[in-house]
Amino acid sequence: MSKIKKKRVGFVLDMTPLVDITFLLLTFFMFTAKFRSESENQQKFTIKRPQTTQDTAKLPDKDLVMIKVGIDTVSNDTAFYLSMVNEQDVAKLAEAMMALEYPGATERTALFKITDSTWLGKIVEQARMINPQAKFAVDADRRISYKWIDIAINEMRKKRATSFNFVTDKKGASM
């Protein structure tokens, strides 16, 4: 190409619309961002949720007692992990568990690792007393065997928590 290009001196591009849109998106993502709660910070496992086809209800984000059943990534054992979602309930539950002398409970504990059904029954009872409106949600790994869920259902049933939720993922969602 022998054509000599004219050199563009002081080429200026108006960046204002770009910056506008960028700020708009930034504010949107900042407001929608949800930060990890204390109990999630204390969690040392990931849960592969079971998948369902139907578009069922969404999980409430307050007044909730979460019973997670997960496989510990380090020790490879299955256990219940109970936590409450409301900020004030977390502190109350920790206090109640310290009063019951649960091994390893401190006022900073937000996620209680429980391995036997007796303690699960006790902590479910405490959670019911602290927040009677709270709903129960069972968030369990799809690979664990059903007996763990059976224990959890029975303990909740005994404490008159007969309506609860199973946390699932939509089929086809990336996990």
Partner 1 sequence: MAGGGESLGGGPKQKRGKSGKRKGKKRVGFRLDMTPLVDITFLLLTFFMLTTSMTTPQTMEMNVPPELDEPVEVRESELLMIRVRGDGKIFASMGNEDPEAPVNLKQLQQFVAAKNIDLENRCIVTLKSNGDAPYGLIVEVLDALNAAEPEIIQGLQRKGINERKRKFTVAPYTDEDKLKVEGK
Residues that bind partner 1 (CB under 8 A): 11-16, 18-19, 22-23, 25-26, 29-30, 32-34, 49-59, 69, 137, 139-150, 153, 157-158, 160, 162-170, 173-174
Q: How far is the CB of 117 from partner 1 (least distance, A)?
A: 13
Compute the distance between CA of residue 119 and CA of residue 99 in angstroms, rounded to an integer.
13
Tell me if residue 139 falls in helix, strand or coil: strand
Pick the closer one to partner 1 by CB: 5 or 147: 147
Residue nearer to partner 1 on the CB measure, 112 or 136: 136
Report d(CA 145, CA 89) in Å as an integer: 30
Cα distances from 41 to residues 70, 109, 110, in angstroms, run: 15, 11, 9
Give the number of C-alpha atoms closer than 13 A to the C-alpha of residue 97, restricted to the C-beta side.
28
- Minimum CB–partner distance for residue 144 and partner 1 (Å): 5
Query: With respect to partner 1, which residue has the nearer C-beta, 73 or 163?
Result: 163
